[in-house]
């Protein structure tokens, strides 16, 4: 139970967490959009090289073998870039309302101690399993938890950093 109360966000922090999560998600989504734009630009550049080579071939300024080589090189480049663009477009199309999801998750985290208190044994086991994905060990009658869930760990660290700022301490 002490481990759970350690994870509870302090007063005023939940709003900061929601803003931080939304900001991080939006930054990632922005990076995906920028990658998509860059891939489209690179595909256009490769296609323009083939078009220019075709023009030179028609003007008899380029040998047919040289044209084929340019077309093959740029064709494989375009195919590779288009595959990556398809992957990026899938990421881009899965945009969600992260602020609402983050708010729900942070609200649940704020209530985790109460949820644990009223939960059945199976639900408690599930809750602990989510927060501490590694097996728990008992040494000399004391429970040792494994690694903390990555999201809970980030919230705990954020709590710790904000508490240190409040008291004017340096965590380094």
Q: What is the pLDDT of residue 126?
A: 85
Concatenating the DSSP letter of every residue in 13-79 gives HHHHHHHHHHHHHHHHHHHHHHHHHHHHHHHHHHHHHHHHHHHHHHTTSS-HHHHHHHHHHHHHHHH
Q: What is the pLDDT of residue 153?
A: 67
Please enumerate in sequence order all residues whose Cβ is within 8 A of that of 14, keeping only pairs 6 or more positions apart, or say none.
106, 107, 109, 110
Q: What is the pLDDT of residue 149?
A: 67
Q: Binning pLDDT at 50, 70 and 90, where does residue 51 land?
A: very high
Q: Where are the domains of the chain?
A: 2-9+98-167, 16-93
- Whether residue 137 is predicted with pLDDT greater than 80 in this model: the reply is no
Query: Is pTM beyond 0.85 here?
Result: no
Nearest Cα residue to 160 out of 13, 19, 22:
13
């Amino acid at each position: 139970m002490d481990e759970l109360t350690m994870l509870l966000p302090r007063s005023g922090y939940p709003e900061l967490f929601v803003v931080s999560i939304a900001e991080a998600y939006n930054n990632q989504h922005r990076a995906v959009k920028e990658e998509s734009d860059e891939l489209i630009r690179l595909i256009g550049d490769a296609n323009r090289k083939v078009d220019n080579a075709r023009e030179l071939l028609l003007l008899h300024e380029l040998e047919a073998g040289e044209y084929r080589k340019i077309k093959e090189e740029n064709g494989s480049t375009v195919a590779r870039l288009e595959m990556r663009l398809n992957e990026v477009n899938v990421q881009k199309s899965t945009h969600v309302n992260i602020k609402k999801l983050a708010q729900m998750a942070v609200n649940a985290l704020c209530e985790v101690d109460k949820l644990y208190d009223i939960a059945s044994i199976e639900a408690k086991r599930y809750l602990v399993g989510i927060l501490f994905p590694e097996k728990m060990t008992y040494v000399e009658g004391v429970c040792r938890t494994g690694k903390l869930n990555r999201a809970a760990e980030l919230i705990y660290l954020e709590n710790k950093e904000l508490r240190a700022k409040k008291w004017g301490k340096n965590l380094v």
